[in-house]
Every structure is written in structure tokens, then in C-alpha cells.
Structure 1
Amino acid sequence: MNMYQPAPSLLLPFPPVAREPGFGVYVHWPFCAAKCPYCDFNSHVRHEPVDQERYVAAFRRELAVMAARSRGERVTSIFLGGGTPSLMRPETVAAILEAIAANWTVAPDAEITMEANPSSVEAERFRGYRAAGVNRVSLGVQALNDADLKRLGRLHDVAQALEAVELARATFPRLSFDLIYARPGQTVEAWEDELNRAIDLAADHLSLYQLTIEEGTPFFALHKAGKLPVPDGETSAALYEATQALTAARGLPAYEISNHAVPGAESRHNLTYWRYGLYAGVGPGAHGRLQGRTGRHAIATERHPETWLKMVEDWDSGIVADEPLTAVEEADELLLMGLRLAEGIDLKRWRELTGRDIDARSEADLCAHGMVERLGPDRLRATPAGMLVLDAVVADLA
């Protein structure tokens, strides 16, 4: 196990008491104007216009199926992800949100987030999304220098990104944007300068991801051929440490490995995932966790957009996997998701699922090595050092 120890200043603040996870609805719009070379998400480029009316009709049908599987749930968050949801017309977004409201009770204060790319942002379209009900936007900025934006395959430049941020702040109550760090050749000092600039622009939330080289992407082939050098483990750790320290000092501490917010401005939808709540997923390649008669079911839909569309038109949904989870599988998922959070996991929920306690010997060993810590008798979390090797920590505890 990597025994890298972060500076004492990185110790996480004592988190607030965790709220109930809530119930979320995720809608996947799978289309992009171009495929980024680092991206392994279910996104597709189409050179002919997408028939949005046909897709709206399909979303309505699949939403009805998912709602029938989750009767009685109250929607606390909706997330329009992709792909590039900001390629949808405002009337398409409105129709999808109306369909969700027709199938579930939606909380009056529900968080409704839409992802957007700066290259597809227009003032009129943003106003249309806001009128449709979107109250939070997440912008895929990714970098604040033009050379790296070009290398990352982005279609916007820094000037467009800044314009999109300004427009989003003027239109929506809440704003988040993404940046990718640990980019080729990036130093800690350069990243700190860029991150300070981002925090000056940010309203209340930032998602900061280390660049990962995913198999099957163009970046994977370039890296394998030695044409895309990435920071080594020591540099990556230093970049992570700098990220945690700087965001905390500037008032946006990490509440999850890669997500930072002014306290109270955390993404409610993503907290539903990390707190191991229930959620419905609709659209090509969407995933969900819905309650069955004996436990949770892991549900997934067909990834290929046109195949999904035909399946929904023929059979009302594009579901290709509907697997009941055992109590042990649920407990492992709870551990994997919850230890990403600064608030950690509720050990009472773990015991309810498994009928046993976390292995005392494994916990003691991880505590001794500074990888996990107790917050009272019923809450366990990973330390900043543990976050760096979270998969290993989870494997030891599970």
C-alpha cells in the first residue's frame, strides 16, 4: 500500500451530520458535437440532426416504466447528463422535466442540474433552460489555458469558457464547473495559479478531476506509444495535496474526493449516489438503483442510442440488466461510495445490511497507517492519505 502521508493541514474538517440520501432521477443525453480523446463516457457524435421529438417520446415511456418501479418516492434531485445535454433545445428539456413531474412527486426545492459545454452555450438557450426549471448548471470548462484545451480536444477556448461562466452565473441560482488537472507537463505551481483563477470565477462548487488514461480512448493509445507523458505518482500526489489545501483555504473544501463546495452548496444529486440512496436512470447507457421486494436492483439500459430508441419504442424501455443485489453486494457498494465522502459512512447502515461489524483487525491496521479514522462510534471515513488509495482501503475493509 502507498504510505504517502499528506501534510497535517490537509486533515478534513469535522463534517456535518449526513442527511437522508434522497431520491434522484438521472437522464442521459448521449450526443456530443465531438468526442474528446480522454473520454470513455457513453457519448456519440452524429452528423445528421438528432430527432429530438422522437427521443422525448422515448424518454416519456422509459420514465413511466422507472416510475412504476419506484412508486411512492419523492424526487429530490434531477440530473441531465451526457454527452452534451446543452445540445438539447430548451423545449426538449422542458418536456423531459414535465414527464418526470407527471410520474413522481417532485420536491418544491428539488435540485435540477444540467451539464453544459461552453462551446454550445447561448444566452437565449440558457434562459430557455432556466424557464424550463433548471436551477443548477455544471459547465465542462476543463482547463483555463488554450493550449491544454486544444490538447484535450475541447471545442471552446478560454474566452468562450469565461463568457459561459459569466452567463451561467447571471442565469442560474447555482453554478459548478469542471477542471482536469495532472495534465501532461503540468507543475504544481502552474496548477495552483490556474486553480486560484478558477476559484475567483466559481460561484459555490468546483469538480476537480485528475486526468486518467482510460483504455479504448485515443489518449490511451498515445500514452501506450510514449507520446503522452503524464505526471508520475509522486507529482500526482503533490497535485492532489495542493488541490485539497488550496480549495480549503479559499472556502471550498473537499466534501468528496474530486468535489469541492462552499458548505451547503454540495451537489445534492451526487450526494444521493455517495450516500447510497436510490435513483432512477433513463436514456441510453443510464444506470439506476431501485428498491425491489427483497432488496436493491442494479438496473442498466442499452448503451447504443439508436438501439435504445428502438427498444423503448417496441417494449417501453431499453433495460438490458436488472440484477438483484445481495446484502453483501449492497454493503460493498455502500462502502465504495460512502468512503469517497468527507463525512464517511454510517456503520449502522453497514451492520443492518450485513449483520456484522466492519472487520476490527482490518480497521485497526488501516487506522494505524493513517488511512481511515472513526468519527464517533458509528461513522468511519477515509483520511486524505486513504483517499489517495481508496480502492485498496475498500478492498481491505470489505
Structure 2
Amino acid sequence: MLTLPPLSLYIHIPWCVQKCPYCDFNSHAQPEVIPEQAYINCLLDDLRADLKWVQGRPLQSIFIGGGTPSLFSADGIARLLHEVEGLIPFADDIEITLEANPGTFEAERFAGFSKGGVNRLSIGVQSLIEQHLKRLGRIHDPAQARAAAELAGELRQQGLLSSFNLDLMHGLPDQTEAEAISDLDGIIALQPPHISWYQLTIEPNTLFASQPPTLPDDDTLWDIYEQGHQRLAAAGYEQYEVSAYGKTGHRGQHNLNYWRFGDYLGIGCGAHGKVTLPAENRILRTEKVKHPRGYLDLSRPYLYRSWDVAKKERVFEFFMNQLRLLEPALKSSFVDYTGLSLEDADQVLKKSIQQGLLTNKSDHWQTTPRGRLYLNSILTELVEV
């Protein structure tokens, strides 16, 4: 029997100043005038159509992603959050994150976002080296990135933010090991409570995929990771997921809900959702209309498609997310949130356990240090069984 997991909300704002060559997210170059109020109206109507899936739960977290959500006005974000709360109650300790670019224009709005209900910012720095920012197609410079991080720190000291995250990539085109570590040292010096430090991957349907850049070799990438991990640990950051590092009390709650196989409603262009329906023994995936023009067409439904997560897929999806975390995967959570038996898990995990990639305890499974290095092998095994 399925048990309802915690509920989150993802809100997608699709516009960017320009498309970055590595980005495979659903983003579109902004029009001359962004239809902010019309889009917010559609977001709220979209959410109203999804209320049947709330099932009495409060929202534990909200993540406003994109695109570049910080292109919206502070008043627009405040109105959106106020009306969302009128539709679904907020948990007392709700985490509300907004993705932001560190350009001056957006940074000036940070205080307004926090006053409107945002209590956590996620700032896309990506690098503090000018040549790499240009290679990545970013429109800010290192000084703007530092200024944005310092402003977020000031807002936190004033009690207007509870936390903030800085995104940083490594393994960039023609990046040396020394440059990657220098970048990380620069981010640590800004003292964010949370750092997302991840390796650049070339995704299909991106400019980098059609015109592949020269990336560091595997030995260099491994040396970068080892040195970087040591620096982060020495600075008081705890790694709790493959690419997520937080100081005590500053883990990203929204992504944790994803990784723990929680539920989330997804509203906005191309947003995905996952909802559990215990009475029907179903787990449902949803996807909204992808293009802004179609999404804003009031003659069309916002829901593009929905589909059931089959039994075998539930096993894969649970472990695909959960095994990214360094914490144990609780057997009780597997049974509760997939509606399956432990035998269903044992069948697909057996080989990874025998190979020493996973430990199997009475109440949990957990990746071993070797298993973390071969996580893709574990997931491939789940697909093939």
C-alpha cells in the first residue's frame, strides 16, 4: 500500500537573456517585453488544476527555476507566492528558493525577492574566471558574481534570507586543474551556506553537443574532484549528495525531497511533476506544455501529458534518486513510497551488493565508497534487470 510522501512545488519561468551553449533546460530568449502578469495568471490557473493531487498536504518547499526567474519583478514573485499560499498551506519551516543570475540588474532585486517571501537564493555563478564565463555564454563578470554573493550574505545577516547557494562548474572547456581549484577557493571565500559543485557534462541538443569543446581528461577531472572535496571538507562543508555541499543546517530541502522520492507538483512551461495516489495504487508523472506561446494560449490545457510509473520503473526511479545521496536508503521508505516489497528491491540490487558497491543492512541500503565511484554501473544494472 502506498504512503503519501512530503509534497513540494516546482515553478518554471522559461525566459533567459540568451541561451547558454551547455544548457538543455527548457529556456527561451526573452521577448522584448516579458508577459509577466499573464504568465503568473497562467501559473495560478495551472496550479488550481493540480489541487486534486495535494491530498491534504502542506508544501514543504517551493523552487522557482528556469530559465532566469530573477528576470521577473519582486512584486510579481511576491504576488505569485501570496496566491500560491492561498491555494495550498505552507509548512511552518517551508524553504522557498529562487534561481538568480548574478548580473547587477537581477542582484538589485534580491532584497525585494526576500521581502516577497523567498527565503533562499540559488545564484548561478558557474565560474569566477572571465574567459570561462565567456566560453560558457554567461552574461555576468566575476565582479558581478562576487557582488551578488556578498549581497546575499548581507541579506542573510539581516534575517531576510535563511540561506543561499552558489552554483559552480568544473571540467570546463580548456580548464586546467589549477584554474578549477582557484575557482572553488574563490567560491569558498564568499562563505555561502551551500555550494553546488558539479562537473560540466555535454547534453544532447545543445550547442556544445553540436560543436564539442575540448574538456579536461579523466585523470585531471579526478584530481580536481579529490582536491576540491578536501578543500570543501576543510572549510566545513559536508557532502550529502554527489554534487551538493552544505554547512550544518543548510542542506537544500527541495532537492532532498526529489532525491528521497517525494512528491512534487510542477507548474509552468515544460514543468514535470510526480504525484502519489494511494487509493488507486498509482504513481503519476506529469508534464506541462513546453513552449511559452502554447502555455499562454488560454484555449489549451496546461497538462501536455501524464503517465503511470510502472512497477519496474518505480524501483529504478527510487534508487536513481536515493543513491545520489550519501545517507542510507531506508527500506521502510522504499516500501512506503513505491508500494513494493523488499523482494522487489533485492532482486535488482543483488549483483551490486555482491560486487561490494552497496551494503545491505537490516533497515537500509547504502553505497560504499567504491559504489559512489561506480554509481552509473549500479543504475545501469537496475535498468537491465
Q: Structure 2 length normalisation: TM-score? A: 0.90
Map 1:29-108 onto structure 2 (within 5 A). Answer: 29-108=13-92
**Stretch of structure 1 that moved more, 363-372 or 24-33:** 363-372
Cα deviations across residues 255-286 of structure 1 (Å, max 9, x unaligned)?
11111101321000010100000110000010
2:14 is equivalent to residue 25 of structure 1: no
2:265 is matched with: 280
2:182 is equivalent to residue 198 of structure 1: no
**Stretch of structure 1 that moved more, 155-164 or 379-388:** 379-388
Q: CA shift at 1:355, angstroms?
A: 2.1
2:230 is equivalent to residue 245 of structure 1: yes
2:247 is matched with: 262
Map 1:1-398 onto structure 2 (within 5 A). Answer: 22-119=6-103, 121-122=105-106, 124-171=108-155, 172-223=161-212, 228-292=213-277, 293-310=280-297, 313-315=298-300, 317-351=301-335, 353-357=339-343, 363=349, 365-367=351-353, 369-374=355-360, 376-397=361-382
Q: Give the whole-Å Cα distance in 1 for the aligned partners of 2:371 and 2:131.
A: 33
Q: Give the whole-Å Cα distance in 1 for the aligned partners of 2:73 and 2:137.
A: 24
Cα deviations across residues 211-232 of structure 1 (Å, max 9, x unaligned)?
1111221111221xxxx21122
Q: CA shift at 1:66, angstroms?
A: 1.4
Q: Give the whole-Å Cα distance in 2 for the aligned partners of 1:378 and 1:236.
A: 35
The answer to whether the 8 Å contact 2:171/2:215 transfers is yes
SS at match of 2:299: helix
Query: How many residue pairs are counted as aligned between the two chains?
Result: 371
The answer to whether the 8 Å contact 1:290/1:297 transfers is yes
The answer to whether the 8 Å contact 1:328/1:354 transfers is no
Q: Give the whole-Å Cα distance in 2 for the aligned partners of 1:263 and 1:229.
A: 37
The answer to whether the 8 Å contact 1:37/1:152 transfers is yes
Q: Give the whole-Å Cα distance in 1 for the aligned partners of 2:114 and 2:236.
A: 27
Q: Give the whole-Å Cα distance in 1 for the aligned partners of 2:342 and 2:106.
A: 54
Q: CA shift at 1:45, angstroms?
A: 0.2
Q: Give the whole-Å Cα distance in 1 for the aligned partners of 2:143 and 2:22.
A: 22
Q: Output the amino acid matched with 1:167.
A: L
Q: Give the whole-Å Cα distance in 2 for the aligned partners of 1:233 and 1:298.
A: 36
Q: CA shift at 1:330, angstroms?
A: 1.8
Q: Output the amino acid matched with 2:240.
A: Y
Q: Give the whole-Å Cα distance in 1 for the aligned partners of 2:258 and 2:191.
A: 24
Cα deviations across residues 336-391 of structure 1 (Å, max 9, x unaligned)?
000000113112333453324366587565346442234x4222122343233322
Q: Give the whole-Å Cα distance in 2 for the aligned partners of 1:328 and 1:188.
A: 41
CA shift in 2, pair 1:120/1:34, >3 Å: farther
Q: Give the whole-Å Cα distance in 2 for the aligned partners of 1:384 and 1:202.
A: 28
The answer to whether the 8 Å contact 1:367/1:373 transfers is yes
Q: Give the whole-Å Cα distance in 2 for the aligned partners of 1:199 and 1:368.
A: 39
- RMSD of equivalent CA atoms: 2.1
Q: Give the whole-Å Cα distance in 1 for the aligned partners of 2:332 and 2:55.
A: 26
Q: Give the whole-Å Cα distance in 1 for the aligned partners of 2:350 and 2:281.
A: 33
**Stretch of structure 1 that moved more, 325-334 or 21-30:** 325-334
The answer to whether the 8 Å contact 2:104/2:144 transfers is no
Q: Structure 1 length normalisation: TM-score? A: 0.88
SS at match of 1:110: strand
Q: CA shift at 1:238, angstroms?
A: 2.7
Q: CA shift at 1:173, angstroms?
A: 2.5
Percent of paired sites with the same residue: 35
Q: Give the whole-Å Cα distance in 1 for the aligned partners of 2:231 and 2:365.
A: 25
Q: Give the whole-Å Cα distance in 2 for the aligned partners of 1:21 and 1:237.
A: 36
Q: Output the amino acid matched with 2:358.
A: V
Q: Give the whole-Å Cα distance in 2 for the aligned partners of 1:338 and 1:248.
A: 22
Cα deviations across residues 286-312 of structure 1 (Å, max 9, x unaligned)?
0001123322100111111111111xx
**Stretch of structure 1 that moved more, 275-284 or 342-351:** 342-351
Q: Give the whole-Å Cα distance in 2 for the aligned partners of 1:245 and 1:160.
A: 27
Gaps of 5+ in 2: 156-160
The answer to whether the 8 Å contact 2:7/2:54 transfers is no
SS at match of 2:164: strand
Gaps of 5+ in 1: 1-19
Q: Give the whole-Å Cα distance in 2 for the aligned partners of 1:229 and 1:262.
A: 34
Q: Output the amino acid matched with 1:354.
A: L
Cα deviations across residues 153-210 of structure 1 (Å, max 9, x unaligned)?
1000000000111111112231101001011232333322321221121321000110
2:158 is matched with: none
The answer to whether the 8 Å contact 2:24/2:206 transfers is yes
**Stretch of structure 1 that moved more, 351-360 or 20-29:** 351-360
SS at match of 1:296: strand
